[in-house]
Amino acid sequence: MSDLLIDLYPWTKVLHVISVIAWMAGLFYLPRLFVYHVEEVEQGSTTEALFQKMEVKLLRVIMNPAMTAAWVFGLLLVFTPGVVDWSAIWPWTKAAAVLAMTWFHHWLGYRRKDFLRGENTVTGRRYRLMNEVPTLLLIVIVVSVIARPF
């Protein structure tokens, strides 16, 4: 099995990077949709129905599959012999940031359900602040993997 993982390594890495890019696009865009939903959309309007549709499609059709693929291909990379040096600190900082990113993804999913029930209590300002979370985590992940300063 490890020989197969080694042979597939370049393609696994390609698919991981593509999945992460798609996931990140959704993580950047969904909180921005929530800002506009809170600040510009009247509850019960046709515009709200459109926002609900866009938010659900973004989460279910793009973000959830992209997150799943990023995890699957990422774990395949982890199990590929020689890719990760677990005695270094960088894999642990990346893992912590990926877990935080996954938490953020699910937090957004719960907020979408709040909108669906008409129970959103989060302000546009807070969504704007939360929109910075994936950027900070992305920086930690890229520095950990590329520069490996730890």
Is the Cα dihedral 12, 147, 144, 142 positive or negative?
A: negative
Average pLDDT, the chain: 96
pLDDT in tens, 124-145: 999 999 999 999 999 999 999 9
The Cα–Cα gap between 34 and 121 comes to 11
How many domains does the chain contain in total?
1
Q: What pLDDT is attached to residue 135?
A: 97
pLDDT in tens, 20-42: 999 999 999 999 999 999 999 99
% of residues, the chain, pLDDT over 90: 95
Q: What pLDDT is attached to residue 1?
A: 78
Domain housing 110: 2-147
Return the number of other C-beta atoms located less than 10 Å from residue 92's C-beta: 12
| Residues of the chain scoring pLDDT < 50 | none
